[in-house]
Amino acid sequence: MDHKDILFLAHQRHELYMKLLDCSTRQLSLMADREGNDFPSLFEREAKEWNQITKEIEYIQEQMNLIDPEQSSASDSLLDLMQAIERQVEAIYHSLSESAADTGADLRSVKNQRKVMNAYYRLDQNDQVPLYFDHKK
């Protein structure tokens, strides 16, 4: 393999990082509007695409390292792209953390409301008395 091969692989790697940026942008927009019932399936699809792209990037990076480890390092434009992806991933992580905290608060609120309903209206009381008959007696 020669210099043209490593340039081709570098171009492919750059295109894959562009796809990764696009994928993270879609994930971030999904997090901003996650009220729909189809949010979990859409986010899972984006996560699967993310995993596939990262596998392809790893494979290309391995190929580049085999050809010429010195030329396989990232360019400045690729580093800028990686930093943009990192910022979006951090925003997604922050949004997921907030969502988990909100869900926990909602569950605690429901639990407290249930306790109040049980205290005032005795909904947890079972007024039915089970009767058992012993047919042997």
Taking Cα atoms as reference points, which of 42, 24, 45, 32 lies closest to residue 87? 24
Q: Report the amino acid identity of residue 3.
A: H
**pTM assigned to the model:** 0.71
Query: Is 123 within 8 Å of 117 (Cβ atoms)?
Result: yes
pLDDT of residue 125: 62
Instruction: Report the number of secondary-structure helices (H) and strands (E) in the chain.
Output: 3, 0
pLDDT of residue 67: 83
- Per-residue pLDDT of 74-116, as tens digits, reads 788 889 999 999 999 999 999 888 877 777 877 887 887 777 7
- Per-residue pLDDT of 60-78, as tens digits, reads 999 988 887 777 777 888 8
Task: Convert 70-90 to b/e letters by CB count within 10 Å (16 or more is b).
Answer: eebeeeeeeeebeeebeebee
